[in-house]
């Protein structure tokens, strides 16, 4: 459940004013030290950038690491750890209908690294309400599959 909440919270990073084209499109944003991110789970501040990894810190010793493409690398806090190698996939520019897949490994405090298959798709561009206000954002769905194609799947949403 924490994974679903975390992934949903990442959507705040993905809002962007689309260009004047007919379909919404967002180029990859960049962030600077001190920038704030306010997902439903609280306030996070960008405290450092190391090797193209954004490191955000939140209340209660929570930390979230995103790569330059805003793919989740690691989330850590008092209640646990979630880490992906390589990061959760996301390719820019974002456009409704864009999708991809990748085989990655993930780890929690309770387990070692496990191989999973991740599929993602930009499903819509819609209003999202967060503590900082209402913003237009791309809704991205991730599905996670353990084992070969056709095995059990989990579905999570950003947005």
Report pTM.
0.74
Mean pLDDT for 18-31 is: 77
Range of the domain at 112: 2-158
Confidence of residue 41 (pLDDT cuts 50, 70, 90): confident
Residue 8: CB partners within 8 Å, gap ≥ 6? 39, 40, 156, 157, 158, 159
> What pLDDT, on a 0 to 100 scale, did the predictor assign at position 57?
96
More confident residue, 152 or 47: 47
d(CA 41, CA 36): 13
* Helix, strand or coil, per DSSP, at residue 153: strand
Q: Please state the domain count of the chain.
A: 1
CATH number at residue 18: 2.40.360
CA count, 13 A, side-chain hemisphere, 141? 9
Mean pLDDT for 72-100 is: 91
pLDDT over 70 percentage in the chain: 78
Mean pLDDT for 36-57 is: 91
Could you tell me which of 159, 156, 12 has the C-alpha nearest to residue 84? Answer: 156
Confidence of residue 156 (pLDDT cuts 50, 70, 90): low
Confidence of residue 13 (pLDDT cuts 50, 70, 90): very low
**118 neighbors 130 (Cβ within 8 angstroms):** no
């Amino acid at each position: 459940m924490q994974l679903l909440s975390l992934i949903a919270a990442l959507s705040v990073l993905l809002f962007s004013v689309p260009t004047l084209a007919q379909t919404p499109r967002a180029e990859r944003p960049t962030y600077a030290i001190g920038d704030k991110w306010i997902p439903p789970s609280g306030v996070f501040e960008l405290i450092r950038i190391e090797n193209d990894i954004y490191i955000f810190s939140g209340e209660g010793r929570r930390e979230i690491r995103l790569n330059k493409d805003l793919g989740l690398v690691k989330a850590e806090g008092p209640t646990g750890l979630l880490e992906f190698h390589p990061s959760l996939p996301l390719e820019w520019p974002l456009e409704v209908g864009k999708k991809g897949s990748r085989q990655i490994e993930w780890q929690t405090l309770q387990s070692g690294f496990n191989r999973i298959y991740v599929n993602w798709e930009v499903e819509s561009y819609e209003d999202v309400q967060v503590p900082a206000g209402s913003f237009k954002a791309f809704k991205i769905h991730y599905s996670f599959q353990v084992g070969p194609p056709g095995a059990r799947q989990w579905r999570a949403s950003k947005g």
